[in-house]
Structure 1
């Protein structure tokens, strides 16, 4: 039989991640198969040394532009303790939004003053703990400010930022209007030493640089206004929103231009606008450089210059950007089902060819493909939470290492649950050879939001363990993540 020669007409273009020799070597080492056998299900691999490298890159930009800055890792991006341990060891702050996150950060050695507490309408217990541990609290509304000032009247002066509603996003549910900010500033000034109002913050969706620069400049002006009322106001938070670059520009643009329902199992459709921007020309620490180097409209100098001139510290809350290339997710193939084109071999109208017993021997024009079923669920690859899917191609790993090119085999990837919607990858990925039961699929660069945002022990399946990989001179060394129970 003649192997498939995939064409854009039959299958979507490939979406390989950027070259990563370290992860390639890990795939070829045999360790993933040993771990799959040991844990009997999917698992996540963590590479904390890459977290350290990403932190260092952000700090290098701050130093190069002579800007005072503090980095807070956005804990919501991944629940593993390994990242918090690195924060404690490296003097990195942590952005938390619940009692559980705050307690875990403290329990792993991060000091209260190195925590910033975000999120809307915080519970009283969270406000009490944050105040007691001298955390910095981003206040989102006037009623929240009133509850926080009540703690001040009990003898503890809370540290706070006032969150600003972006003027260009008036429908956002985060932040205070201009009038509400005026009221909040007056209340903070009246509280005197009972509160420490340290500055302002904003929450802005998306990854565009210029809107963040415009808001940063506005917050500098608000700090000057607050100082006129006798408030310290010496810092601003620009939040996160530092994109991660997963794929090449050419591959991503080719995919967006050609993708259509025929490229997906069951004719599934995805709007291009709903995909994460998997290629970003300015990403990570370089996005910070671009932000600080922007001259906002109506200002004579860059954001960096405005911060220096006003003596203001910039606070950063990256999550995904600190986890770039710092982890991957591994599933074991436990079933391979061949599927022909709709109507083929079924007696349906238009069915003129038999469904192939080996999809790799079918003609590309038939659109034949397979359905791989793995030993976990799509709840451990969370992008479908956003009506999308994780676009980069997984790597097929056999017991001998990464699969070599044989007979190309297009397939979608489904989960082990009884739900039709439990599909990890709806797109018909063209694998280099036909996967076999026991082979592994390694989804790369999943540490940022993918691993555990949606995790659930559905069907009483165990949650995938997180395995920390540590650099070593010989074979890779590993240990279980030390996240406390509960």
Structure 2
């Protein structure tokens, strides 16, 4: 069927991804694997890491950038952190084991998450990791373990409950005061290095405001003889997937009729695929903001107090660093649009986890190369399972050509949280492999990622 009124949302162009699409490599890999796969572009990870470090240096702020490992399980990102001397943020024994195995020092690892398992705490202690403690009970547990194995002090951050929020994480004011007294009494058993927080959403001013509060708390903690020389503001740096005009036009035009079965998503349920300030520029904006109750920008507060700023970006370090490839294995017409079935499932594109939709347009890759031209053929994309709701794209995506069996759909910029956060071998379908791509533009090389999936 031809003709479509469905709005498009083209992803921001990326030269390296375009080179891979034009090389013929993806068709070969699809044939070799016989199913969906992801390809990874570590050079973009390296560039994003360098950009965050540059923003810190420009502001004259001592800082440490740690990759939030939960954003993507691939080993290559941890390998790049080890090579660059960057840190990694982990939240489980498996993540800690993988990070150590791929070369990151314990001193460069931050352990976060609530109510950590005793074995995770023991290994973190032995390896000299920095542990973000979430509750009074966890602090007591950690200090007990440290006293039983006095090889080195427990390195601790106290995670703060954001003011005015009903979060299940962190210390409130009274708990914080009690925890500081507890750390002071513990003596050499503990090194209380500062405070941490994590905020949901992508607003920048609340991060600056809360960071300013943590600077004040560090100064107060020092009065009790505690080092308190660092704060962690977590992640939450937005990624700019699409141009402003394209995003505005999409939001203005899209309606339930543009989705299979009239699917309706919760109001405000889409990720903000355009952000006017993103990545390292978002960090620059936070550092330039004057926190509430202070008369100087955050960067100046940090410098004057001699405090190291710790960051834990995940998605922002993975911007443009990978894509997901499905093969079309069925095409049918339904109510004026095509319904495609691909050789995988929506579990490999995890925005569905949030009852939402991954909106950047997939590229239609035909045997002749990427299809080009005006949008003319609308098609939604379903997974190869028996579930009615297994839709990779509920949206009737406008393609420049009618997709055919054997064509590939390449979903761009999926490395951040999309690839594997919700993956599952449902129906005994194998998990899509991850392929690391590097080498020259006209002859890209590839290898399988070295991450060992848990069994």
TM-score in same-fold range (> 0.5):
yes
Q: Which residue of 2 aligns with 1:63?
A: 57
Match of 1:104 among 98, 104, 110: 98
- Aligned partner of 1:138 among 132, 137, 140: 132
Alignment partner of 2:249: what SS? Answer: helix
* 1:295 aligned residue: 290
Q: Tell me: CA distance 1:249–1:289, structure 2 relative to 1, closer, same or farther (3 Å).
A: same
Q: Show the counterpart of 2:422.
A: 454
Residue 268 of structure 2 aligns to a residue whose secondary structure is helix
Asked if residue 74 in structure 1 is aligned to residue 68 in structure 2, the reply is: yes
Alignment of 1:380 with 2:380, yes or no, is: no
Map of 1:83 onto structure 2: 77
Report the Cα distance in structure 1 between the residues aligned to 2:12 and 2:34, rounded to whole angstroms.
Answer: 29
Q: 1:198 aligns with which of 177, 193, 196?
A: 193
Structural mapping, 1:429-448, within 5 Å: 429-448=397-416
Distance 1:173 1:227 in 2: 27
> Does residue 239 of structure 2 align to residue 264 of structure 1?
no
Equivalent-residue separation in structure 2 for 1:200 and 1:298 (angstroms): 19
Gaps of 5+ in 2: none
* Cα distance in 2 between the residues matched to 1:41 and 1:28: 20
**Secondary structure at the counterpart of residue 161 of structure 1:** strand
The Cα of 1:270 is off from its aligned counterpart by 1.1
Name which of structure 1's ranges 247-256 and 326-335 shifts more when overlaid on structure 2.
247-256
Q: For the residues of structure 2 that align with 1:415 and 1:248, how far apart are their CA atoms?
A: 28
1:116 maps to which residue?
110
Q: 1:132-281 residue pairs with structure 2 within 5 A?
A: 132-154=126-148, 155=150, 156-169=152-165, 171-281=166-276
Of 311, 315, 320, 1:320 maps to: 315
Q: In structure 2, what is the equivalent of residue 27 of structure 1?
A: 21
Name the Cα RMSD after superposition.
1.1
Look up the match of 2:40: 46
What do residues 319-378 of structure 1 show as CA deviations (whole Å, max 9, x unaligned)? 0000000000000000001112xxxxxxxxxxxxxxxxxxxxxxxxxxx10100000000
Distance 1:71 1:176 in 2: 24
Pair 64,126 (structure 1): closer, same or farther in 2 beyond 3 Å: same
Equivalent-residue separation in structure 1 for 2:312 and 2:375 (angstroms): 46
Mark the CA change 1:290 to 1:250 in structure 2 (over 3 Å): closer, same or farther.
same
How far apart are the structure 2 equivalents of 1:254 and 1:325? Answer: 23
**How many aligned residue pairs are there?**
452
Q: Secondary structure of the residue that 1:273 maps to in structure 2?
A: coil
Partner of 1:314, secondary structure, is strand
Larger radius of gyration: 1
SS in 2 for 1:153: helix
1:336 aligned counterpart, secondary structure? strand
Structure 2 distance, partners of 1:172, 1:256, is 30
Q: CA deviation at 1:24?
A: 1.5
Structure 1: gaps spanning 5 or more residues = 341-367
**Shift in Å at residue 272 of structure 1?**
4.0
**Offset from partner CA, 1:406-462 (integer Å, 9 cap, x none):** 882101000000000100000101110111100000000000000000111111111
1:147 deviates by 0.2
Change (3 A) 1:103 1:248: same
